[in-house]
Amino acid sequence: MCTVDGAISQFGPIEHGQIYQAKGKQFTTTALLAGNAALAKQFDSGLFATIYLSPKDYHRIHMPCRGRLLEMTYVPGELFSVNPATARGVDGLFARNERVVCVFEADNGQPFVQVLVGATIVGSMATTWHGVVNPPRSKSVWTKDYRDQQIVLEQGAEMGRFLLGSTVVLLFPEGDLEFNPDWKAGRGVRLGEVMAD
């Protein structure tokens, strides 16, 4: 299920570790995931979806499917605007902005990731298990490991929020998942609608 209200920025296959941002612009899954090449490798030939939340959208993020939380990583970075015009103009935008990388394990044992990307006016990002992640803003990457806890979020459960609109990037591993055929870049989406089968 779609995890937010917003508009599809881009979606599709992850090809050779690259995620499509806009015409002529890509970034790597490794860069998005704060240099974690081992985690990024799990999404080789997988799928991604980047969804933009404008300031008028509902600012909470929900779960696409049931998942057990494995880890959360805070990544300091820039606070560029994430609107469509900036996505077309700034190289590696989503891998350069401040972000919170949330790694889950689905019921089938496969990992999936939701990345909450900060933006110009987004004063804070929060998760339901941690609370406000920023502020304070750290100058270095930090990770919290939750594998020794049983934090399980059901499909549709709230997992985080932005103070204002921003962007969520979802990563799924290679498999049988296919995106909703009605999806296209620029199309508005609503929380709970079918994202993929």
Residues in the chain: 197
- b/e code 123-159 from CB counts within 10 Å (16+ = b): eebbbbebeebbeeeeeeeeeeebeeeebebeeeeeb
Which sequence positions are flagged as catalytic?
5, 62, 166
Question: Is the distance from CB of 174 to CB of 194 less than 8 angstroms?
Answer: no
Of 186, 174, 181, 185, the C-alpha closest to 197 is 181
The C-alpha atoms of residue 60 and residue 165 are separated, in whole angstroms, by 9
> Tokens 């570790």 belong to which residue?
17
Contacts for 58 with CB less than 8 Å, ≥ 6 apart: 4, 5, 191
Rounded Cα–Cα distance for residues 44 and 23 (Å): 21
- Dist. CA 75–CA 176, nearest whole Å: 31
